[in-house]
Amino acid sequence: MPILEEKRVSLFIKREDKIHALISGNKYRKLKYNIERAKSDHFDTLLTFGGAYSNHVVATACAAKENGLRSIGIIRGEELASKWQKNHTLSMARELGMQLKFISRGEYRNKHLPQFINQLNSEFDTFYLLPEGGTNNLAVLGCQEILTQNDADFDVICSSVGTGGTIAGIINSSSSKQHLIGFPALKGDFLKEDICKFALKKNWELQTNFHFGGYAKTSTELIDFINDFKKHTQIPLDPIYTAKMMYGILRMVEAGKFKPETKILAIHTGGLQGIVGMNAILKKKNLPLINL
Ligand SMILES: *Cc1c(COP(=O)(O)O)cnc(C)c1O
């Protein structure tokens, strides 16, 4: 990338996407201690929530299977009940043995309420509950393992942000000299508070200008960026999270936001399973596709 040389900034990418094809990147980290807890507490079923393209749903289905647990996915959107077979993410989750239950968007909004959980408890046997996106204390603990001692030399560490659990873990295991930048993949002011619930340090900021219109929203510019980036680096980016972060980082480099000799580490949090689903949407709209 010529812009990095021009600005004399170095950029490394930590390939968490290579941990596992389906229990991808940060989702592996977030599930690790939750699965240990579910097993030590003698649960035989994981239950979680997600949308039709959720990396977390697939990761949970796969991790459950690999650990001899059953899994239940509560999926947003009743209309999917008749056409989940056409959805890459959901059919993969089903293939991995996940039982899918489709609920309306209205019901989905109430998923954290005790009445709703009680209803699930009467419908299904006991289960270990993972919140949407998988963020809880144990998930943050797992994400603290993303950085290791070998990463102590980096000045700046960048991560994509959904619920904020991943960056909270990274913040907690960073050194106070390091600066963390989170790139939210969605619009909203709630993220800062959510991160503060788990983060123990204040060495971080959010760059909120790179969400491309909101969660799962893309543009031809972003798709072109993904394809160009892959051509130059051979590194695939997902359109929901990591591409928005990488686009943001390079824009900030271009704008001279980093001093010369700054060493940046970007976390590739995975999410590549989502490309097929996104391409199906782009194809319907007659837009350029992401090269596989
Ligand atoms: C879920 C996800 C994120 C966001 O993680 P949070 O802990 O929810 O902030 C980032 N990148 C990828 C690829 C993801 O799948």
pLDDT tens-digit profile of 32-81?
999 999 999 999 999 999 999 999 999 999 999 999 999 999 999 999 99
Could you give the strand order of the β-sheet that contains 45-50, starting from the edge strand earlier in sequence? 99-103, 70-76, 45-50, 128-129
- Determine contact, residues 14/151, Cβ cutoff 8 Å: yes
Find out whether the beta carbon of 25 lies less than 6 Å from any atom of ligand 1. yes
Find out whether the beta carbon of 242 lies less than 6 Å from any atom of ligand 1. yes
pLDDT tens for 88-121 read 999 999 999 999 999 999 999 999 899 999 999 9
pTM above 0.75, yes or no: yes
What would the mean pLDDT of 11-26 be, rounded to a whole number?
A: 94
Mean pLDDT over the full length of the chain: 96
CA of 97 to the centre of ligand 1 (A): 23
CA of 166 to the centre of ligand 1 (A): 7
Buried b (16+ CB within 10 A) or exposed e, 270-287: bbbbbbebbbeebeeeee
Shared fold status for 2-20+137-284 and 25-134 = yes
Q: How far apart are CA 142 and CA 154, in angstroms?
A: 21
- The strand ranges marked E within the chain are 10-15, 45-50, 70-76, 99-103, 128-129, 156-161, 179-184, 204-206, 263-268
Which CATH number among 3.40.50.300, 3.40.50.1100, 2.40.430.10, 2.130.10.10 corresponds to the domain 2-20+137-284? Answer: 3.40.50.1100
Backbone angles phi, psi at 56, to 5 degrees: -65, -40
Find out whether the beta carbon of 273 lies less than 6 Å from any atom of ligand 1. no
pLDDT of residue 172: 98
**Domain segments of the chain: what residues?**
2-20+137-284, 25-134
Residue 219's contacts (CB-CB under 8 Å, 6 or more residues apart) are 212, 213
CA of 269 to the centre of ligand 1 (A): 6
What would the mean pLDDT of 262-290 be, rounded to a whole number?
A: 97
pLDDT of residue 38: 98
Mutate to test the pocket of ligand 1, among 22, 23, 48, 160 (most ligand atoms within 8 A of CB): 160
Find out whether the beta carbon of 135 lies less than 6 Å from any atom of ligand 1. yes
CA of 34 to the centre of ligand 1 (A): 16
194: three-class secondary structure by DSSP: helix
pLDDT of residue 24: 85
Find out whether the beta carbon of 163 lies less than 6 Å from any atom of ligand 1. yes
pLDDT tens for 202-228 read 999 999 999 999 999 999 999 999 999
Task: Please give the class, per CATH, of domain 25-134.
Answer: alpha beta
Residue 245's contacts (CB-CB under 8 Å, 6 or more residues apart) are 158, 159, 160, 183, 185, 210, 266
Q: How far apart are CA 114 and CA 223, in angstroms?
A: 41
Q: How far apart are CA 168 and CA 191, in angstroms?
A: 11
Residue 101's contacts (CB-CB under 8 Å, 6 or more residues apart) are 72, 73, 74, 75
pLDDT of residue 189: 79
Buried b (16+ CB within 10 A) or exposed e, 209-235: ebbbeebbebeeebbebbbebbeeeee
pLDDT of residue 95: 98
- State the closest ligand 1 atom to the C-alpha of 238, by its place in the atom list counted from 1: 13
- State the closest ligand 1 atom to the C-alpha of 164, by its place in the atom list counted from 1: 9
